[in-house]
Structure 1
Amino acid sequence: MRRTTPTRLAAIGAASALALTACGIGGGTSEEENGGDAGSENGGDAGTENGGDADAEISGEISFMTWNLRGGYEEYFTDLVAEFEEEYPDVTVEWLDHPPEGFQDTLSADAAAGNLPDVINVGPELAYSLAAAGMLMDISETDPEAAETYLPEAWEGMTFEGAGGGTYGYPWYLNTGPSFFNTDLFEECGLDPENLPETYDELFEQGSTMGENCDGVSMIGRLPTIEMMGMYGVELMNEDATEFTFNNDEGVELVQHFIDLYSDAGLTAEALNALQTGELDAFKAGEVGWLPGSSYTLQELRDTAPDIYEAAAMGPLINNTSPNMYIQAIVVNADTPNAEASMAFSRFLTNAENQMEFAQAANVFPSIAELLDDPHFTEDDGTDNGAVRVEAADQLREAVAWWPPAFSGGADVEYLREQIAQAIQGQKTAQEALDDAVAYSNNRLSNQ
């Protein structure tokens, strides 16, 4: 991956902040800077880009559920629904927005009762559970031409080998982010802020130096995650995605790096229990040197840790393979009575023009490859937000959704963390820790 010169964020100049909603998407208004009709450059409107003119026979009432988006984006979705209904006058769309709490429980209950909405905004993990239960439409069968619209890795991220091999969602928006480094902490701990780590080997080496020279701080703020394993080069699952395999040599090697780092005082005890929010809090407190961030990290630092923001430098996400990305998708109920209308709305929502508008408004990234060539994502406008946006958009061109959709964000994540923490504390070996974690996850998967 191309390495850019680390950028000291505060030196670029401040940019206007976007208000964050509870689900982590930035609020705000769309900027009219996409340089022309994105829809015409990438296949036109929903009626023409996937199978011909808008079909007058498409009709019916459909429900569309999002997660905690009404507060920041009510006007966007209200207008989008109105435009779709104007194009398809025989279709009525009911927009439902679920509050931040209990979304998964609500969908599980709706699925059990046969009351799933027709079109739903979910991530791959929740989509996998619904697809494995036969609840979602396989759009690789019902709408195969859609595959040509989206980034191949985004489409692949919604293709679930462990659930029949189908593709169970239209990729909508993506997120990734650069690495952030606390250059003041680097200087304080005897490291060169002009020579920031670019590889995992350099990260661990400099982490040991930081631990030797400074007490109570560490380079890394949390234990290895499933995404880090993927970026390190660990094979996470077998080819047909029926078993986890991250207890291989590369996985053991990664965990051993953390064991050694802890022995060198380069990893604090607090990191053994930290999740993503704890890692961010430690970075903001000046206790951690490296933070794998997202497009939202910059505002968080600017608003809540201005001293750290002033000291922050930015570079690509450290990886040995490909950087990680996160996906939000639009899925269709397999039992919807109005399949054509549901697919037409899903294509309309995720077409180039609407993706571009939402990406600009929400500070996220489109899943359509051509849109990443838009000046909004390629030209640094001289602001720190612009620098992060260009860095992250460039990263998406080779990013992979490393999180296996079959890996539980609750049970599997916590059990993996517990096993690695025990290995770091000398209670078991790295191999034993990963063997136990793999056995746990495979047992849960086989009983799903």
Structure 2
Amino acid sequence: MRIPTRIATVAAFSIGVLALTSCTGGGGGAGGDSGPIDTSGELSGSIQFQTWSLKNEKFTPYFEDIIDAFEKEHPDVSVEWLDQPGDGYQDKILSQANADTLPDVLNLPPDIAYPLVAAGKLLDVNAADADLKDVYNTGAWDSYSEYPGVDGTYGLPWYLSSDASWWNLAQLAPYGVTEQNLPTTVDELLTLAEKVASESGGKVQLLSSIPGLDTFTSAGIEVIDDKGEFVFNTDEAAAIVQAYADAYAAGAMPAEALTGDYGGNAEAYIQEKVAFTTGGTGFTTDLQTDAPALLATTVATPRLGIPPLYVQGLNVSADSDNKAAALAFAEFVTNEENQIAFSSLAVGTAPGTVSGGDTVVDNISASVTDPAQLAAIDTVFTAMQDAKAIPFQWTSDMATYMTQQIALAINGEADPKTQLDKIVEYANANRVDQ
């Protein structure tokens, strides 16, 4: 199963947008008829439904059952289920779009959806049914609604994930830290990191990564404006970078965190090089495998600030010959009942609807044997309503450049504001939507 992640799309999709635009004459926005679609009447005809690497022993019975249920409710509609392998999925989508063979309903995260949105290949679901917005998670709905220069919403949130904060209480206990007084903000984290580093003589460190774009989104800083321009080179963001630099100078962070070449913050935590990390609800599985003794001393709390949101959704082709049945099926798959059933199978994912997370936790409580994982899932689900997705324009290439430039500010070789100016200039010059 493909859990939501950021996907590097800069080369493939900048080319793909050009190819699709040349085929459709450009213009962007919703293609075909953009307006209300009545799904309440009698539906008929056939539609194709395409998932992303979900046809397997675990999930096939679920999809067969859900298709059977929809066809029983609408006996004159037939649904053909297609599934594409994980590798090369974005290329397959572009190929289908260029050949005008997109399935009626398909699974696209917001970034992969972008070139199709720009070319008018996806249905504006908000225009089709304005009542849908209230059904779904706000941050996930917004992630399909914030394409620069394009009005509308181009996907129904399906299944979501986010991260938690993970703490090694055994390492932190000598410094007065308990589960009850753990940091809840980045400022508190940095203050504690300096305190622990100082009192331990540098033996206990909390920080294993330097600021990334999600550091600023978590702090509530605007990183991109409504025109799609990156704008996070602010004094507020520079102050956060400087605070990390101060913490680094105080010995609160290992030097390898600056290079981006190490195993990652989760690996550093497993090796007990640091006492804090971020990670998904499945991090307990890594601990069970690689550091089982840590489980007893590890607790999960919500991500500091605004948590990140990783989104998968269902989209309707604007070129579908059966939009009413396609939209009805997309709504059916993503209704609360069916999303709860899916997330109860795909443990660690949350429903894309406004509610349903508590029911998922109840459903999986018997099958999840590790109480730490269950607690982490509950923690993440509780915070999910406030989570926000990273802008789809942000690519892995931009993230790499940002790491290189921020590292210079953290080790004191450059001014934080100057480095942020460079990063924003680079990001805006390499936007995938230009």
Quick check: TM above 0.5?
A: yes
Partner of 1:384: 372
SS at match of 1:224: coil
Match of 1:365 among 350, 362, 387: 350
1:119-134 to 2 correspondences below 5 Å: 119-134=105-120
**What CA distance in whole angstroms lies between the structure 1 residues aligned with 2:51 and 2:95?**
14
- Name the Cα RMSD after superposition: 2.8
SS at match of 1:95: strand
Q: TM-score, normalised by structure 2?
A: 0.82
Q: Confirm or deny that 1:233 pairs with 2:217.
A: no
1:1-40 to 2 correspondences below 5 Å: 21=1, 23=3
**What's the CA shift for 1:23?**
4.3
**What CA distance in whole angstroms lies between the structure 2 residues aligned with 1:296 and 1:249?**
36
Gaps of 5+ in 2: 6-36
Amino acid at match of 1:100: G
The percentage of counterpart residues that share the same residue type is 30
Partner of 1:143: 129
Gaps of 5+ in 1: 1-20, 26-49
**Contact 2:53-2:85 at 8 Å conserved across structures:** yes
Partner of 2:296: 310
Amino acid at match of 1:82: D
- Structure 1 residues 91 and 244, CA gap change in structure 2 (3 angstroms): same
Match of 2:275 among 289, 298, 322: 289
**Contact 1:62-1:338 at 8 Å conserved across structures:** no
**Contact 1:173-1:365 at 8 Å conserved across structures:** yes
**What CA distance in whole angstroms lies between the structure 2 residues aligned with 1:323 and 1:156?**
15
**What CA distance in whole angstroms lies between the structure 1 residues aligned with 2:324 and 2:263?**
41
**Contact 1:177-1:294 at 8 Å conserved across structures:** yes
**What's the CA shift for 1:113?**
3.3
**Contact 2:166-2:298 at 8 Å conserved across structures:** yes
1:10-409 to 2 correspondences below 5 Å: 21=1, 23=3, 53=40, 55-68=41-54, 70-187=56-173, 190=175, 192-194=177-179, 195-212=181-198, 213=200, 215=202, 218-238=205-225, 240-274=226-260, 278-319=264-305, 322-363=306-347, 364-372=349-357, 374=359, 376=361, 383-397=371-385, 399-408=386-395
- Structure 1 residues 267 and 241, CA gap change in structure 2 (3 angstroms): farther
Amino acid at match of 1:155: W
- Structure 1 residues 133 and 440, CA gap change in structure 2 (3 angstroms): farther
Q: Confirm or deny that 1:421 pairs with 2:412.
A: no
**What's the CA shift for 1:378?**
11
Amino acid at match of 1:383: P
**What CA distance in whole angstroms lies between the structure 2 residues aligned with 1:91 and 1:276?**
53
SS at match of 2:58: helix
**What CA distance in whole angstroms lies between the structure 2 residues aligned with 1:22 and 1:173?**
10
**What CA distance in whole angstroms lies between the structure 2 residues aligned with 1:447 and 1:176?**
25
**What CA distance in whole angstroms lies between the structure 2 residues aligned with 1:277 and 1:24?**
21
**What's the CA shift for 1:24?**
7.5
**What's the CA shift for 1:341?**
2.1
**What CA distance in whole angstroms lies between the structure 1 residues aligned with 2:432 and 2:311?**
25
**Contact 1:175-1:365 at 8 Å conserved across structures:** yes
**Contact 1:191-1:210 at 8 Å conserved across structures:** no
**What CA distance in whole angstroms lies between the structure 2 residues aligned with 1:52 and 1:96?**
23
- Structure 1 residues 434 and 92, CA gap change in structure 2 (3 angstroms): same
What do the CA deviations read for 1:278-299 (whole angstroms, capped 9, x no partner)? Answer: 2211111111221222222223
**What's the CA shift for 1:395?**
1.2
